[in-house]
Amino acid sequence: MQPASSNTNRSLQDKYGGLYAFAKDVTLSNLAEERSPEKLIRLTNKLERFAEKEIAGLHDQISQIGEKAVGILPVCRLGCWHCCTHIVLATAPEILNLADQIRATWSDEEILALRARIAVHKAITQPVRDGTAPYPPRPVCPLLKDGGCSIWTHRPLVCRGWNSVDVEACIQQREHPETKVPTRGLAPQFAITDYVRQGMSEGLEGRGMNSETCELAYGLEIALDNSDAAERFLAGEDIFAPARAGIEKWN
């Protein structure tokens, strides 16, 4: 059964709901037997590429509308990073995929520097987990480097789903989070990644694995600390549970 997403309206569900079924089926079939970290990573990359293809199609449609598309044209550009101060929530396969990529391609010094940024991020966000923060802070994502995402091709689905049509709203929300100014994202793009993520989550549950999202920075630290994190997750261990502590307080 397709999920009724609170973030998408009926027409988006009609248009993109099939992505949910696809992602669920692919996840179930890929994790049916002989599970391995390599297989999990291939699956995650496949679903991320699938979402990207749909998003590219959406952007094509928007650009073909011409002048009338002005109010719905994404204004995002390289070097604009105000959105990279939201708390990023990601599933375990996305985090494991990231950790694998970082281990394979980053130097020891770069990983040490990342760990230091994660430590700062955790310290800033701890009052939210403790329930003492008056409103969620907006710390810079530890994966942001020199104004750009350092893991762009492996970024989580939620980051892929976010494009704004109003940069001023992004700036206002980052500089004054206490005002809770709404950001103006591209709803169909968010729907694409949300349905893919929900389908993947349902597939993970069907294979006995935890499907909930957790805090990216915290989860990444767990994955980097435990070289056997993927094997343990595939065996059904809820290894990322600490990275979900107080997660409901981010909303």
Separation of alpha carbons 85 and 107, rounded Å: 25
Helices (H), 66-107: 92-105
CB of 48 to ligand SF4, least distance (A): 12
CB of 227 to ligand SF4, least distance (A): 22
Quick check: 90 and 227 in contact, CB under 8 A? Answer: no
Residues in the site for ligand SF4, rule: CB under 6 A? 75-76, 80, 82-84, 88, 141, 143-144, 149, 151, 155, 159, 162-164, 167, 170
144-151 own/partner pairs: CB under 8 Å, 24+ apart: 144/81, 144/84, 147/79, 147/81, 148/78, 148/79, 148/81, 149/84, 151/98, 151/101, 151/102
CB of 235 to ligand SF4, least distance (A): 27
The residue (of 24 and 138) whose beta carbon lies closer to ligand SF4 is 138
**Torsion sign, CA atoms 99, 102, 104, 107:** negative
The residue (of 51 and 159) whose beta carbon lies closer to ligand SF4 is 159
CB of 115 to ligand SF4, least distance (A): 15
The residue (of 80 and 113) whose beta carbon lies closer to ligand SF4 is 80
CB of 166 to ligand SF4, least distance (A): 7
The residue (of 28 and 72) whose beta carbon lies closer to ligand SF4 is 72
The residue (of 184 and 207) whose beta carbon lies closer to ligand SF4 is 184
Separation of alpha carbons 55 and 47, rounded Å: 12
